[in-house]
Structure 1
Amino acid sequence: MTTTAPTDRVHNRVRLALLGVRGEAPVHRSGGAGPSDDGHFLVNGRGASLPYNPDSPFVLDSAGRISVDGADLGLDVEPVARPRFYDLSTDEGVAYEKIAKLHGKDVLATTVVQTCVRYGESERCRFCAIEESLQRGNTVAVKTPAMLAEVAEAAHRLDGVSQMVMTTGTSNGRDRGARHLARCVKAVKKAVPDLQIQVQCEPPAELSTITDLYEAGAGSIGIHVESMDDEVRRRWMPGKSQVPLDEYRAAWREAVRVFGWNQVSTYLILGLGEKDDEVVAAAGELIDMGVYPFVVPFRPLAGTLATDVDHVPAPDTDRVEEITRRVAARLRVAGMRGADQRAGCAACGACSALEGGCGA
């Protein structure tokens, strides 16, 4: 007979995110830009991306319950079912699954250009494996607007997908890939007008491109810095760190002006080397600007330099939990919830322990 362990939602979500589960899901991803090799689950009805770890203390049983050392955590866990659109292909024979993936229960996600000018070893972000899935044959290098419109329509019609995330590898152009994103957004919105879309890109050198993305039909935008500590940026993101933080701040301010308060977000990855107070202060600066700081723990990802070369472990669970709670407290004071974003990572929330998008 199993016993029931005391439950704390944030504590358990942090530990699950970092330690994963012994139990695989039919919907999973590997390689790509991150944040991990994971499976998609619903935990008490909320989306959660959990790494598969055969050494995890968390065991998922056939009844959809998670236990530790025989103690039931009081969590109902349901693997996300394989979507029907995965069974389809384009007329040219490209599987829909290679064009866009289901994330969580109702989020369609795609990397519109699966290559990055910063992917050489001297410039590559050490937590990123954006070209790994391409090398494995799991995706195609460039998704056309027509491809994405076709897949989005099917995913919306067959599987109830309600939002879409479009990210991109960085290009050599001054727009850093944003113009192709805009063309893709416009095509998808024409095919599925009520599908909410978030775009993700580096700060474009021409800030007017942010307006182009909005006018194409994107409802929210992610401009991801990952860390606001320049020393950490140079160590973890040698190429991307060449874009000054002031360019990020200018892009965030312009994005808030165009998309609106709490429709702009950025990743802050926990476990890259900053002090706790520095991370919380950075999150506070972002909140004051109207930018949602989507705090997620670093998780080892196969194919990355951090995992395969540096052998960097996941951060301490207690530290991640403490930082998450402190950032959540600031978000609550500001009245800022990821769930209020029209689309995107913060709206989904599966990769973070921020409860309901803001409260821990």
Structure 2
Amino acid sequence: MNAETKAQLISVGSVNMDPSLIHWLTIPTAGPGAGNIAFFFNSEGHRVRLAVKENSPLEAKMEGEALVIRKDGVEIARGIIEEELIHCPDQAFITMCEKCIYDCKFCPVPKLNGKVKSMEQMLKMIAEANETGRMKAISITSGVEISAEDEVDRAEKLIRRLREKYNVPIGVSVYPTEDSTCRLKFAGADELKYNVETMDRKLHAELCPEQELEYLLDALREGVKVFGKNKVCSNVIIGLGETDESAKKGIEELVSIGVVPILRAAAKHPLREGEVTIERPSAERLLHLNRFLKEKLDEAGLRADTFKTMCLPCTGCDINPHIDFED
């Protein structure tokens, strides 16, 4: 599966298939794709995460040991269904809180009434993941149940407990507070992600009215100072109404402060119908913007393929410009 094929699969985001074929079905609990049944597909070492939907234009069937994906009867890709550890292959990726007080208009999490895991639950999940012998990293993310400060407290305590026991990279993605960056680093986190969601100022104010983009950018700047080069990343959702010019300007701004952007295809969710206009990016647009991203990362001496935790090494939901492009 080359980058062009992967972009095509991401642009659709789903396949029509018999769910019983999948032994490792998951339902994401964080972000715009929360609530959808999904699985990981790997073809020739390249990975993509796909939702299972009856109305998908793509059809997937098992042929021998391979899962074959077709569109209009024409084969697009052939590969395997990957086993997950927690949320993704090779990582114990924990969502501490599946609720959120921030009402970002593209995200279903505030409307899903999700669970909040206890410290004991999270430690048990990670211990069981470690027992498989396949845990290469631990990643922690969270919504916001009561306040961002409370989530940082929980993340800090969890990381300290984990660092006492496990010698694997730990990544963390929460909403920043005034002192979160230093606290998370000193607790033992290796990599940091604060999500800007969109770098288009006008769209950010409309879609994330309770968050401040400049505050997030200041936190990311501090993150680079504290965590170092190639240790800080941020999700940028593509398909919320931004132009290519706006997206490129945002990429340049993030790269200029030492942050590695992750270009995430926007996903429609029925719980947000009428609140936001989403146009899932085409394969061509994803390739165009990710090639631009690769160019800017290379110019700045930043790498998307050196991260050990969270989304960049997983590559399931996004094109990683230093892994998925062959050039």
Scaled by the length of structure 1, the TM-score of the pair is 0.79
Find the aligned partners of 1:51 and 1:328 in 2 and give their Cα distance. 27
Shift of 1:133: 5.2
The match for 1:18 among 6, 11, 16 is 11
Could you tell me which of 150, 157, 167 is aligned with 1:194? 167
CA pair 159-18 structure 1, distance change in 2 beyond 3 A: farther
Aligned Cα RMSD in Å? 2.5
Match of 1:235 among 206, 210, 235: 206
Kept in 2, the 8 Å contact 1:185–1:216? The answer is yes
Which one-letter code corresponds to 2:202 in the other structure?
E
Residue 246 of structure 2 is aligned to residue 246 of structure 1: no
- Residue 117 (structure 2) aligns with: 142
CA distance in 2, matches of 1:116, 1:313: 24
Matched with 1:268 is 236
Per-residue deviation, 1:332: 3.0
1:125 aligns to 2:104 (yes or no)? yes
1:203 and 2:176 equivalent? yes
Match of 2:72 in 1: 69
Q: Which residues of 2 match residues 30-41 of structure 1 at below 5 A? A: 30=27, 32-36=29-33, 37=36, 38-41=38-41
Is 2:158 the partner of 1:181?
A: no
1:227 CA displacement: 0.8
Q: Structure 1 CA distance, aligned partners of 2:101 and 2:112?
A: 16
Shift of 1:336: 2.5
Is the CA contact (8 Å cut-off) linking 2:171 and 2:189 kept in structure 1? yes
Equivalences, count: 316
On the 8 A contact 1:10/1:355 being kept in 2, the answer is no
2:157 maps to 1:215: no
The answer to whether the 8 Å contact 2:105/2:275 transfers is: no
Taking the aligned partners of 2:132 and 2:92, their CA distance within structure 1 comes to 12
Q: What is the rounded CA distance, in whole Å, between the counterparts of 2:147 and 2:199 in structure 1?
A: 24
The DSSP-based 3-state class of the residue aligned with 2:52 is: coil
State the 1:77 CA deviation. Answer: 1.9
Match of 2:96 among 112, 134, 139: 112
Identity %, equivalent residues? 21
- From 122, 127, 132, the equivalent of 1:158 is 132
Alpha-carbon distance in 2 for matches of 1:269, 1:181 = 24
Structure 1: 5+ residue stretches without partners: 1-6, 84-100, 119-123
How far 1:107 moved relative to its partner?
1.9
Task: Identify unmatched segments of 5+ residues in structure 2.
Answer: none
